[in-house]
Every structure is written in structure tokens, then in C-alpha cells.
């Protein structure tokens, strides 16, 4: 699974009205008096989520309690074992149809099973919130009714006799699943996971298609069929889905047949004949355009809403190449019968790797202009790689989730390295590191976490970001050949079975011949990360490198860290390999003369906080001499601070506007925004104009426009030209730049772009309309909000509230009603909380505090509740 954006992070950004939060669409805002905040006083370099500042351990008052437990130490729950297997589940056959009015699923499930080892006279299935009709044992042509107990969560069936190991039985259950009526009982954990979702069920919303889709992970598929809902169960699967003929259906495996069954209905028969886990079962039903593609002899398909048919290949078209690449590096061809990818509305997550049929959030439905700025490769790669790590070899328990997610996350690095080069891959590495380190300020856990309090807690930046980083680190330790050979061995050994962390370790040990407990213990089974202070000096033909491990030893190990030290002497690079293993350690490395630069961790493989002071001259040298993108970027970030004080540095930044890496060109252009001097200003403006129009990368053009507008308040004719750019980000920034430099007729310029279906443009217009209180735009807002979800919707809702507050009473009332409805009933928890936050701005609404309270009281989603709790409401 891939969660969409950083839920809390985005929410808190809104709550605090800090719009400096980094989003992939970060851009300028209207000048100083903008309603929320302006671009200039938010730091573009600050990637750390704002919410961590609320929880920063440094702000905890420790004056009296020096040994206080750090805030990131998490409470431990009981040991969470792999679920005991009492039965082998061989085959699951489901026959389903739907009642859209009531949002029910009518089902018949036939389960073929046999006792796993010990003889059994009863079987207990997960079945959440059903009406049970009949429970029978199939016996030739006649069926025998079975006695059962059902408490709306577990269905315990008496088998009438003892069945021995391997003695097969078929149980048939007739039931109705009622996912919207799931009861939350007494002490049971509150959950909003309902497994089966009806979108626009009564077709009352003209802006939304009717759809049905499912979300199984972690244990929600037992809300729509009875099963052993645990990741260590593997079963083949057969689905007979009866739907209105106007809809298409998608499920796992192959489509065997489609039959007209009368009354305007059709039954589709899907067969998944290779075993997989119950949480990977899926259905999606809706009106879709199906765009066909191919990898080797396997069908690849993209299910999108009809108006996106023309863009489906532009969005998903790298899939066959990814399948080829992953099949090769794993020496294991894509193992399944087909690969379909479907986009659904109001999805509860980012994407889900249901075997052969991945579901994505609707943010992936974009046009080709959007794709000039960014693409969705990372999430497409992530879900595809799960088809080996997750679907083929499945983490045996949620405690072992990184065996699925760390690999899926690392596949993003692997794909970018392969397709776009090492710099792009390293750029992702940097983002993953900052994501993990920011989470680590409030939470530090082992990756493999047997003592979690709630299995949903496993889906965090530890399992994902840190997990991927740890695999990259492991690759650097054992080398590329051993790394991929070990993955190949692990996959082949445990295919169609499950894995736990020690099986991964022994696969690596078998390949390398080395004991790797030291690596797995510190990175997979212990919490935390190294916090290093590095100092270097030179004397008597030696560089003396001192390394101190500062992390809190009560909770974090002293690490063993093999890595490289790059030393430039007389302009020449010399690389040294060292292994850190003590709390404090000194290394002496030969050098003929005082070095130009000592660069710690030459391969950038450490997951660590590193303090290593260098002079501006050393950073300047680092930028000019390293061939590593991350080293040059790091140098550029430090040089920026000197843009007004140091001419040498300013010359380096100017040179960097021509860097081969677009991210560094972008950073250099951003650095000049802070320039307040007059020397060379004309030269910079000239170069920025060139970049704004001609740089091959749209995001560099966009930043050049911002900087240009900051440096040159007089000229705005350039922006009339860049408003014709194909890139949405360039267009948006051109509008801001034009407005901020006093461009004429800005309202009519802005209105021209109302019809564009793109978040960056919608956000720009929303900001303009709320800033200028433009009348008559409420319908425009509503239409745009219908099309967005997640963090994007959150931004628009916030502007919407700002807009509505300044309008007349009627508009305010309409706006309030819409927000109340969304905050109560939107299927997506992020959307509900974002609507709630927006609603809070409408302070003239009658009885607002009671309405807000009611919304909080009715909330069932755990994260949303935690968030309300954090707001102290
Ligand atoms: Zn995933």
C-alpha cells in the first residue's frame, strides 16, 4: 500500500496556516498582503514537516529531569505473533451482486480447506458485520446444514465431526455484507475500515461517477467475504461478479467469461489460480475506458475514466518497461496472469497492490501538460514491485511489514536509477531520509516491530522511507552483485509463501558467506539511527578524523558503520574505506599535504544525522569538484546563505545556473531571490530571463520566474510570454509574477484559465479569488473541489473557507452547509478533517461550536481522532 501524501503533515500545515509546507507543487503566492502567508517568509529549504516543531524534544523542559524519557520513545504493546494456522485454505469462490440503494453486497462464498496439522471439529472465520443466511457443507450433490455461532465479527462453525490433517472440506456460506452498518462494539478497537465502498451509490452527484471498490489491507476484506483474514494465508480465488451491463468489473487474475443474465445484468467470471493472501482480493466496478498495453505475452491494462483515455498511456505507459526491468533484476519474470491498474474516486489511501489489479487514487488522472512537470512513476513502480515483495512472498505478520513496504519503497530508487539516472535516484534518497528523520523526532521504533499497539501503526515512515534506506545501505555494504543475488534467492525460496525477517537475513548470509546479524540487529530489530559529530584536522602527513556517536544509548545501539571517506589532496580525489564501531573513534588517513576537502560518507549510504562543519571555501570546492549530485546540492544549500556577502560564492551560484542537474539549477535560481545588492544584478536578470523561457526543465523555468519577479519589479512583459508555456507550474508562477509586478488586468488574465483541470492552476485561481474577494465564484470552487482529494483538496478547502467568509450571507450559508456535509460524510478521512478545519474559519455560522463538536464525536477514523486530540478539541 502507498499512503497518499503525509496525512498529518498536510493537516497541521493548514491548522497552523503555514503555507511554507513543502508540496510537490510548491510555488509562489500573491504578494505580502496575501490572505494566508507569502512565499518570501517561508523557507523553501525547510523540508521538515511543521508539526514536528510542536513535538521537538528540544522544546521539552528538562531543566529538572535530565534523564527524562525522550518523546520519541514509544509505548510497547504485547507481542504480536503470526496468526496460528489451523487450516489450509486452498480455494475461495465468491458469487456476488449488489444493492446500490442499501449499499449491500449479496454473496455466496464457497471455501475449500483442510486442517493444517492438528485435527479440527470446528472452524472460525473472520466475517465482519454480515447477515448470515445459510452455512452448509458440500457433500456430493446434497448439502448438509451446519450449526454456527456468529457475533458479527467471527463466524464459528461446527463441522459435525473431526477432520484430520489434509482431509478436505467445502463450506458454503450465504450472506449479506453491510459495510456501512459495521457495528463498533464496546471495547473493540474503533475502525473506519469497511473493506467495500460505494461511491455516489444513488447517482445523486452529477460530478462523480458511480463506483464500487474494495480495500483489504490490513484486515478489512472480511467486511465483504468470510475468510481467515491474516497475511499468512494463501488461497486461489474465483469471483462471479454480477453488475449492471453499463459497468465494467475488474478483479484479480484472468477474465474467464462474461454472461448476460437478464434484467440488464451481466456476470463476469474472474479466476486467480495462483495462491495469494486474502488482503489482496479486490473488485472495482464502474464506467471505465480500458486502455490495453502489453509486456512480453502478458496483458497490461489501464482503467481510467473515459475523459482520461487519451492520457492513460502517458500516465501509466512506463509499466511494461518497469515489468521488464524488475523481472530482470530479480531474475524472476513477473509472476502473474495480467497486470491491470485502475483509478478510483475517493480512495482511502494512495494505492494498493491487489494482485494483478492495483488500485490508485484519482490524483493519477492527469493530462499530458501535467506530466511536463512531474510524473507518477514512483507510485506505479512501488505497487508493481509489491507483486514480488508482498504478493508473491508476503510478510507473514504485520510486525514484518517492512518485508513488503521497504522493498516497494526501494523499488522507486531502483527504477529512477535505471530510467532517469543516479542523480534523480539520489534526489529521492534525500527526500526519503528527511521524511524518516522528521518522523524520528516524535517516534523511533524498530523496523520489525513485534510489540506494536495497533497494526495500522506499522504503515509509517519507518516501514516505508527508513525501510527503503536500510535496503540501500545493505546494498552498499554487500555490493550490487550480492545484493541482487540475495533478493533472487529469497524470492525463489519463498515464492507463494510468506517471509519473516530472519529468512531475508539467511538468504543474504547464504549468498555472501558472511554473518549479517550485526547489520540486521541494528537496522531492522533496533530503534533509532546514528547521530554523528565529525571533525577533521591535518598534522604530520595524516588527516585525523574524529567520529563521535551521540545517540541516546539507553534506546539506540552503538552502530557498526562501514563507509567511505573522500579526501581531495592537491585537487586529486583519494578514497578511504573505514568502519566505525565505537562511541568515539579516531582514524588516521595518509595525505601528502593539508587536504582541500574531507568529505564524510562518500557513497551517501548512511541513515544518520551528521554534523561535519566545513568552511565556505570548502563548500565552494565541494560544489566544483565532487561528481556526486548530493554533495554538490549540499554545497549549494550552504553557499546560498552567502549570496549577499561573498562575491566568490555569488559567482559560483551564477555558474550553477548552467549545472547539468536541473535540481541544482533550480536551487541556484532560488538562491538569487535573496540577492539584495546591485553589482551584477543586470547580468543575473538577463540570465534568469533566458532560463524562464528556455530551460529544458519546466520546474527550473518556474523558479526562474519567481526570482526574476523578486529582482526586477519593473518589467512584467516576460510573464505575458511565459503565460503561454505548456507547463502548469510555469503558468501559475507567471500569473503570480505578473500580479506582483503590477501587471494590468490581472482578473481577466486569471479567469481565462478557469476551465483547466489541474491542481496547481486551481490553487492559483483559488488564491486569487479569495484574495480579491471576486464575486460569483462559489460554483467554480465547488466544481474544482469535487475533482481533488488528499492534500490537494485540503488546500482548496482552505481557500474556499477564506473566500466564503468574505461573501454575502447566502453564499456563506451554502459554503457552511457544504463543509458540514463533507466533514460528516465524506468517505475519505483526510477530506473529512480538512473540511472540519475549513469549517472552523466560518465563525459567523450559528451554533458552530456544537456542530464542530458533533463532527468530532461522530468521527471513527483513528488518525482523524488522534488529530482532533492533538488540536486539543
Ligand atoms: Zn506499499
The whole-angstrom separation of Cα 530 and Cα 514 is: 23
CA distance 783 to 226: 39
Cα of 711 to ligand 1 centre, how many Å?
44
Q: 361 CA to middle of ligand 1, Å?
A: 13
The yes-or-no verdict on residue 267 having pLDDT over 80 is yes
What is the Å distance from ligand 1's center to 558 Cα?
Answer: 30
Instruction: Determine the distance separating the centroid of ligand 1 and the alpha carbon of 408, expressed in angstroms.
Output: 6
Ligand 1 center to 119 CA (angstroms): 37
pLDDT at 834 over 50: yes
CA distances (Å), origin 392, targets 222, 240, 644? 21, 24, 56
- How far does the centroid of ligand 1 lie from the alpha carbon of residue 643, in Å? 42
Q: Which of 93-102, 204-213, 377-386, 667-676 has the lowest mean pLDDT?
A: 204-213
140 Ramachandran zone, left/alpha/beta (phi>0; psi -120 to 50): left
Give percent of the chain with pLDDT exceeding 70. 91
CA–centroid distance, 766 to ligand 1, in Å, is 33
Q: How far is the CA of 398 from the centre of ligand 1 (A)?
A: 13
Q: Which residues of 265-284 are buried (b: 16+ CB within 10 A; e: fewer)?
A: ebbbbbbbebbbbbbbbbbb
pLDDT digits (tens, 9 = 90+) for 398-438: 999 999 999 999 999 999 999 999 999 999 999 999 999 99
Torsion of CA 428, 434, 440, 442, to 10 degrees: -120
How many Å apart are CA 488 and CA 510, to the nearest integer?
A: 12
- pLDDT at position 19, please? 29
3-state SS, residue 862: helix
CA distances to 379, 641, 663, 669 from 649, in Å: 38, 9, 18, 14
Mean pLDDT of 598-619: 97
Q: 382: CA distance to ligand 1 center in Å?
A: 6
Chain Cα centroid distance, residue 789 = 14
**Residue 609 β-bridge partners:** 531
- Distance (Å, whole) CA 301 – CA 284: 14
Q: Which of 378-382, 403-407, 770-774 has the lowest mean pLDDT?
A: 770-774
How far away, in angstroms, is 386 Cα from ligand 1 center?
7
pLDDT over 50 at 54, yes or no: no
Size of the chain, expressed as the number of residues it contains: 873
- C-alpha of residue 214 to centroid of ligand 1, in Å: 16
**How far does the centroid of ligand 1 lie from the alpha carbon of residue 837, in Å?**
29
Burial label, 30 (beta-carbon count in 10 A; 0-12, 13-18, 19+): buried
**Mean pLDDT, residues 122-131 taken together:** 97
**Residue-by-residue DSSP string for 436-500:** HHHHHTT-B--SS-TT-SSGGGGSSTIIIIIHHHHHHHHHHHH-HHHHHHHHHHHHHHHTTEEE-
CA of 501 to the centre of ligand 1 (A): 17
Spatial separation of the C-alpha atoms in residues 501 and 356, rounded to whole Å: 25
pLDDT band at 6 (very low <50, low <70, confident <90, very high): very low
CA of 395 to the centre of ligand 1 (A): 12
Task: Please tell me the distance from the alpha carbon of residue 92 to that of residue 272, in angstroms, as a whole number.
Answer: 10
CA distance 777 to 359: 34
Q: What is the 3-state secondary structure (H, E, C) of 528-539?
A: CCCEEEEEEEEE
Centroid of ligand 1 to alpha carbon of 181 (angstroms):
29
Task: Calculate mean pLDDT across residues 454-469.
Answer: 96
Question: Distance between CA 185 and CA 84 in Å, rounded?
Answer: 25
Residue 566, judged by CB atoms within 10 A of its CB (0-12, 13-18, 19+), counts as buried
Expressed in angstroms and rounded, the spacing between residue 595 Cα and the centre of ligand 1 is 45
Say whether pLDDT at 45 is over 60. Answer: no
Ligand 1 center to residue 192 CA distance, Å?
20
Taking the centre of ligand 1 as the mean of its atom positions, its distance from the CA of residue 351, in whole angstroms, is: 8
Is the confidence at residue 562, as pLDDT, over 50? yes
Amino acid at each position: 500500500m502507498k499512503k497518499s501524501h503525509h496525512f498529518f503533515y498536510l493537516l497541521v500545515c493548514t491548522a497552523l496556516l503555514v503555507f511554507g509546507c513543502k508540496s510537490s507543487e510548491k510555488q509562489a503566492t500573491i504578494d505580502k498582503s496575501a490572505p494566508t502567508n507569502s512565499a518570501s517568509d517561508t523557507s523553501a529549504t525547510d523540508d521538515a514537516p511543521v508539526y514536528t516543531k510542536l513535538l521537538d524534544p528540544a522544546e521539552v523542559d528538562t531543566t529538572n529531569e535530565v534523564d527524562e524519557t525522550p518523546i520519541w520513545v514509544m509505548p510497547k504493546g504485547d507481542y504480536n505473533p503470526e496468526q496460528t494456522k489451523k487450516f489450509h485454505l486452498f480455494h475461495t469462490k465468491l458469487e456476488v451482486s449488489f444493492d446500490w440503494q442499501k449499499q449491500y453486497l449479496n454473496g455466496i462464498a464457497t471455501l475449500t480447506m483442510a486442517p493444517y496439522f492438528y485435527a479440527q471439529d470446528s472452524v472460525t472465520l473472520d466475517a465482519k458485520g454480515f447477515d448470515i443466511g445459510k452455512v452448509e457443507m458440500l457433500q456430493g450433490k446434497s448439502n448438509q446444514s451446519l450449526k454456527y455461532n456468529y457475533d458479527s465479527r467471527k463466524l464459528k462453525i461446527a463441522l459435525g465431526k473431526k477432520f484430520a490433517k489434509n482431509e478436505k472440506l467445502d463450506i458454503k456460506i450465504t450472506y449479506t455484507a453491510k459495510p456501512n452498518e459495521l457495528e463498533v462494539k464496546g471495547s473493540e478497537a474503533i475502525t473506519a475500515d469497511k473493506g467495500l465502498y460505494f461511491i455516489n451509490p444513488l447517482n445523486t452527484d452529477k460530478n462523480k461517477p458511480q463506483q464500487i471498490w474494495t480495500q483489504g489491507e490490513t484486515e478489512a476484506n472480511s467486511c465483504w467475504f468470510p475468510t481467515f483474514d491474516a497475511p499468512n494465508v494463501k488461497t486461489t480465488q474465483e469471483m462471479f461478479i454480477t453488475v449492471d451491463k453499463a459497468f465494467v468489473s475488474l478483479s484479480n487474475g484472468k477474465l474467464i467469461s462474461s454472461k448476460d443474465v437478464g434484467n440488464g445484468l451481466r456476470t463476469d467470471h474472474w479466476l486467480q489460480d495462483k495462491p495469494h493472501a486474502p488482503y489482496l482480493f479486490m473488485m472495482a466496478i464502474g464506467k471505465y475506458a480500458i486502455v490495453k498495453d502489453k509486456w512480453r505475452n502478458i496483458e497490461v491494462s489501464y482503467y481510467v475514466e473515459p475523459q482520461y483515455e487519451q492520457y492513460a498511456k502517458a500516465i501509466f505507459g512506463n509499466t511494461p518497461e518497469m515489468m521488464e526491468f524488475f523481472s530482470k533484476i530479480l531474475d524472476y519474470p513477473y509472476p502473474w496472469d495480467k497486470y491491470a491498474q485502475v483509478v478510483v474516486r475517493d480512495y482511502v489511501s494512495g494505492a494498493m497492490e491487489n494482485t494483478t489489479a492495483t488500485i490508485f487514487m484519482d490524483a493519477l488522472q492527469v493530462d499530458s501538460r501535467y506530466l511536463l512537470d512531474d510524473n507518477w512513476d514512483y507510485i506505479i513502480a512501488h505497487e508493481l514491485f509489491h507483486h514480488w515483495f508482498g504478493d508473491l512472498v508476503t510478510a507473514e505478520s504485520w510486525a514484518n511489514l517492512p518485508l513488503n513496504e521497504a522493498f516497494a519503497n526501494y523499488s522507486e530508487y531502483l527504477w529512477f536509477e535505471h530510467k532517469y539516472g543516479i542523480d534523480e535516484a539520489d534526489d529521492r534518497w534525500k527526500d526519503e531520509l528527511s521524511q524518516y528523520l522528521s518522523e524520528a523526532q516524535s517516534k523511533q521504533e524498530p523496523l520489525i516491530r513485534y510489540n506494536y499497539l495497533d497494526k495500522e501503526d506499522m504503515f509509517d515512515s519507518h516501514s516505508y522511507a527508513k525501510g527503503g534506506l536500510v535496503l540501500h545501505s545493505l546494498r552498499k555494504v554487500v555490493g550490487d552483485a550480492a545484493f541482487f543475488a540475495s533478493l533472487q534467492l529469497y524470492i525463489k525460496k519463498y515464492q507463494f509463501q510468506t517471509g519473516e525477517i530472519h529468512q531475508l537475513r539467511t538468504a543474504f548470509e547464504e549468498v555472501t558467506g558472511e554473518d549479517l546479524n550485526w547489520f540486521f540487529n541494528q537496522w531492522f530489530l533496533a530503534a533509532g539511527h546514528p547521530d554523528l559529530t565529525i571533525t577533521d584536522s591535518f598534522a604530520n602527513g595524516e588527516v585525523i578524523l574524529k567520529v563521535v556517536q551521540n545517540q541516546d544509548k539507553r534506546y539506540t545501539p552503538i552502530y557498526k558503520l562501514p563507509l567511505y571517506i573522500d579526501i581531495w589532496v592537491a585537487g586529486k580525489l583519494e578514497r578511504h574505506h573505514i568502519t566505525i564501531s565505537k562511541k568515539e573513534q579516531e582514524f588516521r588517513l595518509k595525505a601528502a599535504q593539508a587536504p582541500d576537502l574531507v568529505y564524510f560518507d562518500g557513497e551517501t549510504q548512511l541513515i544518520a544525522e551528521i554534523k561535519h562543519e566545513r568552511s565556505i571555501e570548502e563548500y565552494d570546492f565541494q560544489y566544483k569538484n565532487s561528481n556526486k549530485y548530493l554533495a554538490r546540492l549540499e554545497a549549494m544549500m550552504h553557499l546560498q546563505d552567502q549570496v549577499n556577502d561573498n562575491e566568490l560564492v555569488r559567482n559560483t551560484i551564477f555558474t550553477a545556473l548552467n549545472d547539468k542537474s536541473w535540481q541544482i539549477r533550480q536551487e541556484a535560481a532560488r538562491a538569487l531571490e535573496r540577492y539584495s545588492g546591485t553589482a551584477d544584478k543586470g547580468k543575473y536578470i538577463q540570465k534568469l530571463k533566458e532560463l524562464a523561457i528556455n530551460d529544458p526543465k519546466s520546474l527550473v523555468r518556474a523558479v526562474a520566474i519567481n526570482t526574476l519577479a523578486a529582482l526586477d519589479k519593473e518589467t512584467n512583459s516576460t510573464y505575458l510570454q511565459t503565460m503561454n508555456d505548456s507547463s502548469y507550474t510555469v503558468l501559475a508562477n507567471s500569473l503570480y509574477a505578473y500580479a506582483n509586478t503590477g501587471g494590468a488586468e490581472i482578473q481577466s488574465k486569471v479567469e481565462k484559465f478557469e476551465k483547466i483541470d489541474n491542481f496547481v492552476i486551481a490553487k492559483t485561481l483559488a488564491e486569487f479569488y479569495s484574495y480579491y474577494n471576486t464575486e460569483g465564484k462559489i460554483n467554480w470552487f465547488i466544481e474544482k473541489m469535487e475533482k481533488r482529494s488528499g492534500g490537494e483538496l485540503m488546500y482548496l478547502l482552505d481557500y474556499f473557507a477564506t473566500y466564503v467568509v468574505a461573501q454575502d450571507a447566502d453564499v456563506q450559508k451554502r459554503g457552511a452547509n457544504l463543509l458540514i456535509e463533507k466533514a460528516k460524510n465524506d468517505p475519505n478521512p483526510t477530506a473529512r478533517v480538512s473540511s472540519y478545519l475549513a469549517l472552523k474559519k466560518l465563525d459567523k455560522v450559528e451554533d458552530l461550536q456544537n456542530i464542530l463538536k458533533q463532527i468530532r464525536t461522530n468521527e471513527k477514523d483513528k488518525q482523524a481522532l488522534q488529530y482532533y486530540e492533538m488540536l486539543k478539541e
